[in-house]
Chain A
């Protein structure tokens, strides 16, 4: 009889550690006797990195699965609503250059080829009278431009009027998750340093090379059937113990340094942007994330294309007068991931698995997807673990590759002329998989069938928003009949205008809603 999975040991207590331990414990009812025991070991001495202040809409389901109240989460984590991203100065760097990647699907998506109709419509207008793809097919851009929230105080918790994710204070979120997991989910918590990793001693074939236990400074050996490596960049188990190599993608994504500051608001009533603002700069881009009490702002750049001094000047210019009084944190970014994420009885989740530049907020969502998959597919016994591991690796590596492709897409269509942008368009730096898709999209819009996995991270709609936002034109000259159903398309464009009017007249501002949540809270119904 193969060994049953009765004990999971999570090493590391950042957001990745607590999210994974929480999902495992919630799914497998760890608070009950004879269920899977979840232990989390974290060092008191290692600070968490605290990357990622932007989430995906997936976070709503993650919080729900953990049994967290949205009101508590928003109150405790300084969180606000995020309805996608505004990309400013990515196309040509001029003051009016911007487009949106909203979270709501394009109006009429799946009913007709809205991109084709939009392209045809734009061709009829002068430059000045053209309107952006994201504004013509999605009401969310208008909501964001007005600083409105994605719902009202009457909308039940986790439900929406317009699809949304969150901006959050990652340090507060880690503490909040820990408290919830310990109070509600029956996780064993050990605060101690892991000093060594011990392999299984008997030479039983299937378990050979497995981790038997980790030795701690003061709590002895902690044994387990599955070990989750959430040790951050140090990748203690997967990287150090197993020596699984790190696969860098710095040849594709050039960003390698971040300078981050926390910018306080002028006062309690200052508007909170309800989207991430990402502004193109000489050698990278600046993120701008509005929380309740402050903004998180940072310049991510390529050190090959900018000195730190130059980068500081760019950031200072963006932030304005307040900059001189702020503490600047420098964070190195090594874009890439481990060649394998699950090896033997050890799986890495979080920074130990990999990290990419923060564009499109992929860090937390990769943690959520991995934690969900491990909890839902937790191998019942050792003899099926290798099968689960193989499938987990296939899915995770596919996701990493897709995210790398999608991030690169943001850079390759720019007309900016600084060396950073010119180098980004060098075809040798563009993954083959993305080049092939770009070939297809010369003649048509990104479509669902371009993406074959049921574990797709970015849907075709996201590619459309970025592609046409960056000014790309698919040439439908060979297939003019695609435009035959113009009546349907016109209806959808009109419908979108109507939705904009309704949204603008019924939604409160982001700040107003957050104040109401703090006063009244959302109801569950």
Chain B
């Protein structure tokens, strides 16, 4: 369970972070939230799907890494075996939080998860120099968080258009693995290609102008990675 604390340069002057351990946060995740700016990096290896947030029911984009809860087929031998580590994992142990919960002004504070395996007093990189100034490492971590924040706005923008243009559909998939075990994918959504093909010139122009068209095609193309995911599962099953 995450235990979030606000980072400050007095209490955490000696805090160190071993970023090589960040990937452990993804060891047991079969779906990892993704932002639009990383779609292409994700699509190189993982299927991108759309699912619903458990608390809000709102659509979210996610990299798919396994077929059941807790299964990450790219986690083997205590290591992340994929080429690209999604931002949502790479950002660990840092989180962004609203400075004032009641205001939406956009003042943020940076928190860290004190329970994260990356936290250390000995190994890893310091957040501050002896004068309390941000280290290069902490600067990088901040830019990663900034990318995530911007990504949330991008995602919202993309989803609003997908819903408005009625481009989402339920993803129905029944998969039989090599050992004859079958699984039905539930609660996943993707782009409705037929409706995309019938989109008016005006709507296509809107998507292009807003820089969303590429993301839409990346979502579609990434589904080809489903075959690789099935392969990995078959290997895991020993078939």
Contact = CB atoms under 8 A, between A and B. Distances in A.
Interface of A: 152-155, 516, 519-520, 522-525
Contacts of B235: none
19 contacts: A152-B57, A153-B52, A153-B57, A154-B52, A154-B54, A154-B187, A516-B56, A516-B57, A519-B56, A520-B56, A520-B57, A522-B57, A523-B57, A523-B58, A523-B59, A524-B163, A525-B168, A525-B169, A525-B170
Contacts of A524: 163
A525 B189 contact: yes
Contacts of B58: 520, 523
Contacts of A154: 52-54, 57, 187
Contact of A523 (B52, B55, B169): B52
A interface majority secondary structure: loop
A415 B168 CA distance: 56
Interface in B146-189: 163, 168-170, 187, 189
A144 B58 CA distance: 26
Contacts, number: 29
Contacts of A519: 56
A510 to B, nearest CB: 16
Contacts of B187: 154
Which 3 residue pairs are nearest across A and B when measured between Cβ atoms?
Answer: A153-B57, A154-B52, A154-B57
Interface of B: 52-59, 163, 168-170, 187, 189
A397 B168 CA distance: 45
Contacts of A155: 57
Nearest to B163: A523
Nearest to B170: A525
Contacts of A152: 57
Contacts of A153: 52, 55-57
Contacts of B56: 153, 516, 519-520
Nearest to B192: A525
Residue of B52, B54, B187 contacting most chain A CB atoms (<10 Å): B52
Residue of B53, B58, B163, B189 contacting most chain A CB atoms (<10 Å): B58
Residue of A153, A516, A519, A525 contacting most chain B CB atoms (<10 Å): A525
Residue of B55, B170, B187, B189 contacting most chain A CB atoms (<10 Å): B55
Contacts of B163: 523-524
Contacts of B189: 525
Given A154-B54, A524-B163, A525-B189, 19 more contacts: A153-B52, A153-B56, A154-B52, A154-B53, A154-B57, A154-B187, A155-B57, A516-B55, A516-B56, A516-B57, A520-B57, A520-B58, A522-B57, A523-B52, A523-B57, A523-B58, A523-B163, A525-B168, A525-B169
A153 B55 CA distance: 7
A520 B56 CA distance: 6
A39 to B, nearest CB: 32
A152 B58 CA distance: 12
A265 B206 CA distance: 48
A524 B162 CA distance: 12
A153 B56 CA distance: 6
Residue of A153, A154, A516, A524 contacting most chain B CB atoms (<10 Å): A154
B52 to A, nearest CB: 4
B152 to A, nearest CB: 15
B186 to A, nearest CB: 10
A520 B59 CA distance: 11
A520 B187 CA distance: 18
A463 B124 CA distance: 71
A512 to B, nearest CB: 10
Contacts of B169: 525
A522 B189 CA distance: 15
A219 to B, nearest CB: 39
A116 B133 CA distance: 78
A329 B53 CA distance: 45
A155 B57 CA distance: 8
Residue of B56, B57, B168, B187 contacting most chain A CB atoms (<10 Å): B57
A402 B80 CA distance: 66
Contacts of A525: 168-170, 189
Nearest to B51: A154
Contacts of A522: 57
Contacts of A523: 52, 57-59, 163
B65 to A, nearest CB: 20
